[in-house]
Amino acid sequence: MPTLAQRAPRPATLPDRSGIRALIRLATMQTGSPVTDEDLEQEATLQIWRALQKSPEIEYPTAFFSKIVHDTVRSHWRKLRKFESIGSVSEKAVSYRESFEDHVDQTRIRERLDHCLKRLPSKIRSVVERFYIGECSVNDLAISLRVSRSAIKMTLLRGRRELRRMMSTTAH
């Protein structure tokens, strides 16, 4: 039996997905409940792959991969958990209570938009209404109107520009 000094490094291969998942599970068990996250799996796989590119022959691949996964998990959770002082968070970010004035303003804007929509040429208005209100796709509109997709997109662009122009000039 060879001694540790005589043991030669073996070429290491990238572990399969279930192996990486098991290593992540072991690493996350230390923090509480074990988790599985596809982003975490991909990041760990990428880190292992980069390490294998630098050093293709590794004497203890399981320990090597475990260390990489453990470091990746720690780094992942450190990046996700940034804390802010509650005093620095604005009240609107926590909760927002719509005021009566906001409701009135939104109602007026909707009424102006409706008025401007009615003033659009009928061909443009029908495309804009079917796309935004009727939720038809560009493909569906192109098929039903027997025009190209680019014609529908151009009509929508012209309609939005005209509405923007009307909304900025209309003091309704």
Tokens of 28: 């996350």
pLDDT for the residue 101 = 81
Rounded to two decimals, the pTM is 0.43
The 3-state secondary structure of 73-115, one letter per residue: HHHHHHHHCCCCCHHHCCHHHHCCCCCHHHHHHHHHHHHHHHH
Three-state DSSP state, 37? coil
Give residue 60's identity as a one-letter amino acid code.
Y
d(CA 159, CA 155): 6
Alpha-carbon distances of 68 from 15, 74, 78, 80, 81, rounded to whole Å: 12, 10, 15, 18, 20
pLDDT for the residue 34 = 55
pLDDT for the residue 142 = 94
Domain edges within the chain: 10-78, 116-172
Q: Reduced to 3 DSSP states, what percent helix, strand and coil does the chain have, rounded to the nearest 5? A: 70, 0, 30
The rounded mean pLDDT for the chain is 78
| Tens digits of residue pLDDT in 43-87 | 888 888 888 888 877 788 888 888 888 888 777 766 655 555 666
d(CA 151, CA 73): 50
pLDDT for the residue 157 = 94
Close Cβ partners of 28 (under 8 Å, ≥ 6 residues apart): 34, 35, 73
**Which residue has better confidence, 17 or 150?**
150
**CATH code of the region 116-172:** 1.10.10
| Tens digits of residue pLDDT in 96-118 | 666 778 788 888 988 999 999 99
